Structure 1
Amino acid sequence: MKFASVSRFLCMAFTLALIASCNNTKEEAPVLNDGGLSLPAGFSSNIVADSLGRARHLIVTPQNDIYVRLAQPVNGVGTLLLHEQDGKGKLLYGFGDFGGTGVQIHNGYLYTASNTEIFRYKLDGDNHVEDTAKPERIVTGLIDRHQHNTKSIMFDDKGNMFIPVGCPSNSCQENDRTPGSMGMAGCPLLDSAGGVWMFSADKKDQQYGDGVRYATGLRNVVAIAWNNQANKIFVMQHGRDQLSTLFPKYFNDKQSAQLPAECMYALNNGDNAGWPYIYYDPFKKKKILMPEYGGDGEKTLDSNFIDPVAAYPAHLAPNDLLFYTGDMFPEKYKNGAFIAFHGSWNRSPEPQAGFFVVFQPFKNGMPDGDWEVFADGFSGGADSTASGHALHRPCGLAQGPDGALYVCDDNKGTIFRITYNKNDLERDKDKPSPNNFRDTPVTAMRENK
């Protein structure tokens, strides 16, 4: 690695401070031994690193280095670089004085996102940042109104950069999250948020207005990925909240806990997914008119809004999406999708749910068959799940060069590594499946289109 002297000094100072912070916490956080996850037979997990900070998204290089984005800087740094060997991560250094979510590698650069800007750093032949003190600013002025404000990053096969921009609203009410308040006519928030924007990957200092709105009608997208088989962008939407709280005339608490679905969309340029005018009801398998715009839980509204390609239980907060292309896992996983569900806060008085990683089978670039819970146990136990006080909350996914799956958690700052060994099948033949989501009405919602 080649660093400017100032950059090297800052990196060393920040790294030493971070290591000291990780090793001298006031309260010792419980750690899941050997990963502690419930996985299908033949799979194992281990903890690569712990207590890093609120680890949002991550990327693993061919050299087994792991770049991790932190929601907020820890000891002055918002991006960490670790080297993983034999299942353990060694912190190399940290850099960048801004927190955020998105991180990707594209054409010899590391791209990182704050809530308002996109930066990139030149990488050397080992995929290490050449100069941590001199990032290039690629996009500035992205909207941050303190709700649904995180920014993820994705590139297509032509080098375009895509940034989801969440809407700072639950359902575009005149008075947000106020019982009985109706929706704003035409939802003016959609002029600058609630969709996916496309930018040049290489042009410096692009303004928000330089971007092209690729798709709209998406309330809040954190999980976004490019599918090489379908040649499409896939996203996971966070569905709206509080149906019974805001419109008790039409919805009871159980309905509010189970509606609407968290939806997967396959996007083309110009698509409209329908928020805030509709939500997707997985039981009726229909697009339902929102109560803020005259709906009553029964009225449908098809219009020109696209259908989801897959649907999942309500309020589980999908925060990352990864198409598996490795060779380590069994063939059924090849080209399928892993989804990190961060977990719910708003299913009360029903138990909270989520805090797991789901696998969605794909065929020819589209969902095919029932989804299943792949990795569970992040929360620390059934009571922690039901209360919503989870020990770990899955947030980011990455694939290692050997085909291992990495999962990071933005509660305790833990990175899990999941591997497969067919020789362990006999060991695990009587092992219970992790697909133990016990809310029967929700489990019945395994609907794919």
Structure 2
Amino acid sequence: MKPFIKLSLCIAIGTLSFISPSDKKSTSGQRLKPDADNGGITLPQGFSAVTVTEESGKARHIVVNSNGDIFIKLSALKGGKGILLLRDKNNDGKADETQAFGDYIGTGIAISNGYLYTSSNQDVYRYKLVNGIPDEASKQTIVKGLPDKGQHESKSIALDGAGNLYVTVGAPSNVCQEKDRQKGSMGIDPCPLLEQHGGIWQFKADKLNQSQADGVRYATGLRNVVGLDWNKQTGELYAMQHGRDMFAAYFPELYPLPNGDDLPSEEFLLVKKGSDFGWPYCYYDHLQAKKLLNPEYGGDAKAIGRCAGKDLPIMGFPGHWAPNGLLIYSGNQFPERYKNGAFIAFHGSWNRGAKNQAGYLVAFVPLGKDGKPTGKYEVFANGFAGTDTPSPGGAKSRPMGLAQGPDGSLYITDSQKGKVWRVMYQK
């Protein structure tokens, strides 16, 4: 097994070594001392948080192994590496050692059947976990050559435990216009991007060197999905759709402020094989609870037209909140009402009025046994931005990835500097 590059907590590259799993104590049943200020975030009564690390890098998605080890994907290389392993050796909830590997960036990361799966913006790899450590010599390419056009290029992944891998392929466009993001430019009909983009593809989780043509287009009509997870209770795929941009700027007569900032909706989707959610022709309006025709295709903020047959979300959120993380909670630590519900990390907006930026929070949606919402969404964690008038550049932190620990704790990553919170419920 090739060793990892070992780093100190300030991520300065040091000597080559690996952490022995014998150094890791079990956190099961351990009552951790939370930070006095919960790491700077607000949580519901009974919940608290400990800061796992302050600055891991530009963190994206996260997964936690059964022994408590934390793996994080980065959107920018740090010390030439794009994947981090954090380990808590003294069982205080804070990372004591950090290791790095992988010379690529990306978003997707997951663990299944003894393998760590990760993605770049074009490929999906897996590493055999040997005593909890990914063996770099065992790296295998599962999917290769996925399209990367530099916009909505991240490849989020999910596994269903039945041998299938799901990969998002975003559309390199706002709404498939003749001239992308140009006011007055009409939409192309039919949209040629849908042949290789704007959907979720299903692959075999253990078959090597698959191309996009080897996969199954599981769902289509999806502009950009970053948050993706598999619901173990219902056995179905869930996703968070980023709605299109520029309504208020391009069509102020149809979408006057303030509603123009809240449209189109960010969509919480229950994804079935063959689902078509309508992009680029359609968008969802949570204020009217309708899927409507985009103006570039003849819409007037009221017309449904060809969108009548498109699949609807199970919930709509205000526009431009940027849902980048999704977790269906299956743990037992949190109160029963959270069981099998959905946590969503909203990265925060840029495409809203300067004084009306929003998002920068983690929401919770209660789900029933049928996998559908049983109530409205709730703000679960807030205060990440550190200001009441956040902006992407001025936000102190921006929630990005979500993961569940073996004890049922909820982990949240920040994409600004890579702060990681571990949220706990302690009676």
Q: TM-score, normalised by structure 1?
A: 0.86
Cα drift, residue 396 of structure 1 = 0.4
Alignment deviations for residues 236-277 of structure 1 (CA, whole Å, 9 cap, x no partner): 100001012223342224232010111111111111001111
Q: Is the 8 A contact 2:8 2:97 kept in 1?
A: no
Q: Is the 8 A contact 1:73 1:98 kept in 2?
A: yes
Q: Tell me whether 82-91 or 370-379 shows the greater mean CA deviation.
A: 82-91
Cα drift, residue 361 of structure 1 = 0.4
Counterpart code for 1:177: R
Q: Tell me whether 89-98 or 391-400 shows the greater mean CA deviation.
A: 89-98
Helix, strand or coil: the match of 1:206? coil
Q: Within 2, Cα distance between the matches of 1:41 and 1:290?
A: 42
> What residue in structure 2 maps to residue 15 of structure 1?
7
Counterpart code for 2:287: F
> What residue in structure 1 maps to residue 28 of structure 2?
none
Structure 2 unpaired stretches of 5+: 15-34
> What residue in structure 2 maps to residue 108 of structure 1?
114
Aligned counterpart in structure 1 of residue 316 of structure 2, from 308, 311, 321: 311
Larger helix share, 1 or 2: 1
Percent sequence identity is 48
Distance 1:276 1:32, change over 3 A: farther
Q: Within 2, Cα distance between the matches of 1:291 and 1:141?
A: 34
Q: Within 2, Cα distance between the matches of 1:387 and 1:191?
A: 32
Is structure 2 residue 183 aligned with structure 1 residue 188?
A: no
Counterpart code for 1:15: L
Q: Is the 8 A contact 1:353 1:388 kept in 2?
A: no
Distance 1:207 1:176, change over 3 A: same
Alpha-carbon RMSD across the aligned residues, in angstroms, is 1.8
Cα drift, residue 366 of structure 1 = 1.6
Q: Within 1, Cα distance between the matches of 2:211 and 2:271?
A: 24
1:72-151 correspondence runs (5 A)? 72-84=76-88, 85-124=91-130, 126-129=131-134, 131-151=135-155
Distance 1:386 1:93, change over 3 A: closer
> What residue in structure 2 maps to residue 427 of structure 1?
none
Q: Is the 8 A contact 1:117 1:142 kept in 2?
A: yes
Helix, strand or coil: the match of 2:180? coil
Counterpart code for 1:411: Q
> What residue in structure 2 maps to residue 212 of structure 1?
216
> What residue in structure 2 maps to residue 439 of structure 1?
none
Q: Tell me whether 184-193 or 80-89 shows the greater mean CA deviation.
A: 80-89
> What residue in structure 2 maps to residue 44 of structure 1?
48
Cα drift, residue 381 of structure 1 = 2.1
> What residue in structure 2 maps to residue 320 of structure 1?
325
Q: Is the 8 A contact 2:291 2:308 kept in 1?
A: no
Alignment deviations for residues 193-241 of structure 1 (CA, whole Å, 9 cap, x no partner): 0000011111111112111110000100001111122221111100001
Is structure 2 residue 348 aligned with structure 1 residue 337?
A: no
Distance 1:120 1:284, change over 3 A: same
Cα drift, residue 359 of structure 1 = 0.5
Aligned counterpart in structure 2 of residue 390 of structure 1, from 391, 395, 417: 395
Q: Within 1, Cα distance between the matches of 2:101 and 2:10?
A: 11
Q: Within 2, Cα distance between the matches of 1:196 and 1:127?
A: 30
Is structure 2 residue 169 aligned with structure 1 residue 171?
A: no
> What residue in structure 1 maps to residue 372 of structure 2?
366
Q: Is the 8 A contact 2:174 2:244 kept in 1?
A: yes
Is structure 2 residue 214 aligned with structure 1 residue 222?
A: no
> What residue in structure 1 maps to residue 19 of structure 2?
none
Counterpart code for 2:77: P
Distance 1:32 1:142, change over 3 A: farther
Structure 1 unpaired stretches of 5+: 23-30, 423-449
Helix, strand or coil: the match of 1:89? coil
1:280-299 correspondence runs (5 A)? 280-299=284-303
Cα drift, residue 395 of structure 1 = 0.5
Q: TM-score, normalised by structure 2?
A: 0.91
Cα drift, residue 127 of structure 1 = 2.4
Q: Within 1, Cα distance between the matches of 2:403 and 2:383?
A: 19
Counterpart code for 1:252: P
Cα drift, residue 16 of structure 1 = 5.5
Alignment deviations for residues 397-446 of structure 1 (CA, whole Å, 9 cap, x no partner): 01111111000011111110111112xxxxxxxxxxxxxxxxxxxxxxxx
Distance 1:360 1:111, change over 3 A: same
Alignment deviations for residues 290-326 of structure 1 (CA, whole Å, 9 cap, x no partner): 0010001111133321111111111101111111111
Cα drift, residue 18 of structure 1 = 6.2
Q: Within 2, Cα distance between the matches of 1:316 and 1:73?
A: 26
Q: Within 2, Cα distance between the matches of 1:32 and 1:274?
A: 46
Q: Is the 8 A contact 1:343 1:388 kept in 2?
A: no
Q: Is the 8 A contact 2:10 2:55 kept in 1?
A: no
